[in-house]
Amino acid sequence: MTDLARQPEVRLALDNDALFQVAENLIYLRKHRKLTQATLAKKMGTSQAKVARIEGGRENVTLRTLEKAIVALEGRLSLSVSPAELELPKASSWWSEADEAHSSYRVQVPHVARGARQSASGSRRRGARTRR
């Protein structure tokens, strides 16, 4: 972990990047299920382009859309919101557990762009939208 990522305010910003968290989890589960974006989109009743935007962290996902993705992927939602001042240990990701249990199980996940919000340093991220 870099020195910057160890700073509490940066860690909090990363932990709270909901679009990234959703994208990362859906990518891992989709790849685990050996589905393409097009196949997932068909199961969800949406377009491949929308799935790509969700996985790229560029789609403001509604709870209904998230539910459709979870059902289509035969997943299970786990959500927790805790007080920021309590730095509770973060549970390991299910794919980390799967990697350890099955050494042949490796999912390569492409870089997921973080949301259009400002980073902890205050600078706008690449691809960020501005209000007009």
Using a 10 angstrom Cβ sphere, with 0-12 exposed, 13-18 middle and 19 or more buried, the burial of residue 55 is buried
Q: How far apart are the first and last CA of the chain?
A: 37
The Cα 114–Cα 41 span in angstroms is: 22
Between 120 and 58, name the one with better pLDDT.
58
pLDDT exceeds 80 at position 107: no
Residue with tokens 């932990």: 15
| Average pLDDT value over all residues in the chain | 81
pLDDT at 110 over 70: no
Query: For the whole model, what pTM was predicted?
Result: 0.71
* pLDDT (average), residues 21-36: 96
Q: Rounded mean pLDDT of 68-83?
A: 94
Angle at 45 between CA 20 and CA 112, to 5 degrees: 15
**What is the 3-state composition of the chain as percent helix, strand, coil, each rounded to the nearest 5?**
45, 0, 55
Q: Which fold has domain 9-78+88-101?
A: 434 Repressor (Amino-terminal Domain) (1.10.260)
Q: What is the dihedral sign for C-alpha 119, 122, 126, 127?
A: positive
